[in-house]
Structure 1
C-alpha cells in the first residue's frame, strides 16, 4: 500500500497519479495486466466502476466484456478502463494414476500435499522480533523443483513402503487459462474503471451502460448468448446505501413528526416546523452543484444530520410564538410575528454561526482536505446557512399565513 500526500498539498489527483503509474508499468516484461485501486479510507470501497460479465458462453462473455469496455471508454468522466486478460499460458497439469494409488493405498490428497510442499514449502514455526511476526518456511531449492527431481520424491504407502512420485502421477504440458473466476457458480469476466468524481458518479455511469446496451441490443439485435452485466464494488454499495438512507430518512421524519405532534398538540404547527426541511435539502443540493460535487455517500449522511439542525432552529421559533400567544391580541398578527422572530434572531444566529465556523475549514480543506468528509461538511455547513435564512424569513411568513387564515383574523 502506498500513501499519497494530502490532496491540497499536491497538484494532481490520485486518479491521475495511478493512471500514470499504470501507463508506465504496462511495458514491463512479465506483467500481463497492472491495476491500482484507490482507497480513500471510507465507504463505499472498491473500484468506482466494477462490472461482472456473468454466464452465457465463453464467446458471448468475451464479446460482451469487449463491448462494455468500449462503451465505458466513450463515457465522460471514466478513466483507466480495464478488463480481465485471460490469455492462455503454459501450465503443467498433474494426472493421477489411480490404479497405482489404489494398489499402494495412497490417497489423492496425500499426493497433492506432497507436490504442494515441494513447490511452495511448508510453514514450520514463527518468532516475534519486537512487534513484527516472522514466519519460517521449509522448501526445496529452486534447482530441485524440476520435473526430473520431483519424480524422485518418495511418498509413503499404506504398508510403509516409499514409492517414487513418477509411479503415481504423469506430468502434462498444456496452454490453458491460468485462472477461471466464478460468480455464484457461473464463469465471469471483470470489467472495471476509475472515475472523475467531479464529472460523474458510479450510479450514473451504470445507468448509461444499461441504457446503451438496451438500446443497441434492441436496434442491432445483438445476442451475447445469455451473458449479462452484474454491478459490484461502489455501484452495488451505493445502491444498497441509498436504499438504506431512504428508509433512514423516512424513519427520521416520522419520528420527528410524532415528537412535534406530542410537543405542540397541533398538526398545523408541527407541519410549519417541518416545512424548513425541503428548503434546506434543496439548498444543500444546489450547493453541491455549485461546488461541482456529486451526491456521495457522505453527503447523504450530511443531509440526515442537517435535518435535525434545521428542525431545531424552526422549533425554537415556532415554540416561542406558541409560548407568547397571549400577546397576539394586543399586538395584532403581523406585529406579533415580527416581534417573536426578532427575539429569536440571536439564539438561532449564534447556533448557525458556531456550526458553520466549525465546518467550513473541513469543507474547504483549510488545514487538510478529506475527500469523503469534506462533502458532508459542505452540505451541513451551507445547509445551516440556508435554513437560517429560511427560518427567519419563510417560516414566520408561513406561520402568519397559516395561523391567521385558520383563525379568520384580519
Structure 2
C-alpha cells in the first residue's frame, strides 16, 4: 500500500492518498457488501483513503485499485485476496450461484467454474464462499445402530447432553435464573476415547458403546453453510477490469458455452446469476412494469378529456424519439447507459407529453376557427405555440446543465438521469413540432380525429 501511495503521488505530482488504514482480525469496510464473517483471527484489511473526487479530477479509483493489485501480486498462504474501489456496491460484477444436494460435487463444480473464469483476460479476484472451519467429529449410524432402532437425533441429543450438559433444575435467586447442568467431568470431556466409549441408551433401555452403533470421523467443518430453497449453494465471485472486458460479456459467454456443460457433468446441479447482474435484472424488471403502468395512466388521463383513443396516441408518439435523444446524449458525452439513465427516461415520458399536449390543443382550437382549411389551422397553431414549446424545452435543458457538467463525486450518480432527461427533451422538441401536426393531418384524412 505504501508503494502504491508513493507511485500515485509521484505520478500525479500531488497528494492523492490521504490515509492508509490497517485492520487486523476484522474487515469493517468489506462487510458493507459481503455476507462473509466480519471478525475472525485470520482476517485482515488494508484501506486506502483518497482525496475527494472533485480534488482528483481525471483520476479513477479503479485505476489505483488495478495498480495496487499488480504491485501486490500473489499473496503466499492467503486463501482469498480482493481489491475493490467502491465502498457501496450492489454485489460482485460476476457472481454465479451453484446449488446441489451433493456437496462434494458442488465443490468440484465450483472449482471448475473458477478455473474457467481464469481463462478470461481482465477477470480478477476469483473466489468462493467455501470457508473451512475447525475440525469436527461427525457421527453416522451404522447397520447395528439402525437395527437397534436408533436415530441420528438420538445420538446427537445424548452426546450433547454428555459433553455440553442437560438441564437438571432451575433455581431462582432474586432476579437471576440459575440453571443446573449435568454433564461429564472436565477430564472425561477432553478425551476422544471417552466419546468413543460413552454409553448410548437404546429405546429398549440397553446401554451400548457409541463406537458400536456409529462411525466417528474427524474432518474439517465449514464456517459458513449457505442454503437456498433448502439446497446447499456456493457462490463463485470475481471482479473485472472494465477497460479489458465487460462483466456481462463474460457472463453471457459462460452461460452459453460452459454452464450447460457443467450441469450435464453433475446431475442435479443448478445455477443462477447473482450479484450486480441480478440486481440490475430485478431493478429493470420492476422499472419496466412501472413504466408501462405510467404510460397506460397517461393514455387514460388524455383519452378522457379529448374523448378520443387516437389523439392520446398522437401526443405520446414523441416518447420514443425522446428515448433516442437520451441515448445520443450518453454517446455524445461518453457515458454508459445505467439504471439511473432509465429512471431519467421514465421521467422523460411525462415531460414530453406536455409539449405535445400544448401543441395538439392549439391545433384543435384553430380547427374550430378554420374548419374547412386544415393546413391553415395547423400552421397558425404551430406559429402560436412554437415559442412556448421551444422555450420550455430550452429552459429545461439549461436547468439540467449544471448537474450534467458537475464534477463532484456526489453528482455523478445523478448525471446519467440528467442526461436522459435533458437531451431527450431537446431532441424530441424538434421532432414534436413536425410529428404532431403530421400525425394529426393523417388522422383527419382517415376520419379518426
Q: TM-score, normalised by structure 1?
A: 0.71
Pair 1:233-2:275 in alignment: yes
Separation in structure 2 between the aligned mates of residue 216 and residue 306 of structure 1, nearest angstrom: 44
Corresponding residue number in structure 1 for 2:92: 47
Structure with the larger RCO, 1 or 2 (CA within 8 Å, 6+ apart): 1
Tell me what 1:349 maps to.
390
- Equivalent residue for 2:128, pick from 76, 79, 84: 84
Q: In 2, Cα distance between the equivalents of 1:85 and 1:103?
A: 33
Q: 1:168 aligns with which of 169, 173, 189?
A: 189
- Note the C-alpha offset of 1:399: 2.1
Q: Count residues in correspondence.
A: 355
Root mean square deviation of aligned Cα = 4.1
1:276: how far off?
0.6
Is residue 264 of structure 1 aligned with residue 311 of structure 2? no
Give 1:181's aligned residue: 225
Instruction: Tell me the secondary structure at the aligned position of residue 53 of structure 1.
Output: strand
Whole-Å separation in 2 of the counterparts to 1:386 and 1:404: 28
Q: CA deviation at 1:98?
A: 8.5
Q: Which residue of structure 2 aligns with residue 14 of structure 1?
A: 61
Structure 2: gaps (5+ residues): 1-28, 30-46, 140-154, 168-178, 194-216
Q: Give the C-alpha shift of residue 311 in structure 1.
A: 0.8
Shift of 1:384: 0.9
Instruction: Quote the residue 1:68 is aligned against.
Output: 113
Comparing 372-381 with 84-93, greater Cα deviation is found at: 84-93
Once residues 188 and 255 of structure 1 are traced to their aligned partners in structure 2, the CA distance between those partners, rounded to angstroms, is 42
Give, in angstroms, the shift of residue 58 of structure 1: 4.2
Alignment partners' CA distance in 1, 2:293 and 2:160:
65
- Secondary structure at the aligned position of 1:34 is classed as coil
- What is the alpha-carbon distance in structure 1 between the residues aligned to residue 114 and residue 341 of structure 2? 29
Distance 1:209 1:365, change over 3 A: farther
User: 1:208 corresponds to which residue?
Assistant: 253
Counterpart contact for 2:138–2:218, Cα < 8 Å = no
Q: How does 1:45-194 map to 2 (within 5 A)?
A: 45-55=90-100, 57-73=102-118, 79-84=123-128, 86=130, 91=135, 106-107=165-166, 158=181, 165-170=186-191, 176-184=220-228, 185-194=230-239
Paired residues of 1:283 and 1:383 also in contact (CA < 8 A): yes
Q: Which residue of 1 aligns with 2:378?
A: 337
CA distance in 2, matches of 1:267, 1:105: 76
Q: CA separation in 2, counterparts of 1:213 and 1:248? A: 35
Moved more, 97-106 or 205-214: 97-106
How many Å separate the matches in 2 of 1:10 and 1:178?
Answer: 45
- Measure the CA separation in 2 of the matches of 1:240 and 1:56: 27
Asked if structure 2 preserves the Cα contact closer than 8 Å seen for 1:15 and 1:194, the reply is no
Q: Is the 8 A contact 2:62 2:84 kept in 1?
A: no
Change (3 A) 1:75 1:174: same
> Per-residue displacement from partner, 1:247-278 (whole Å, max 9, x unpaired)?
10111011000011012112222111011111
Normalised TM-score (structure 2) = 0.66
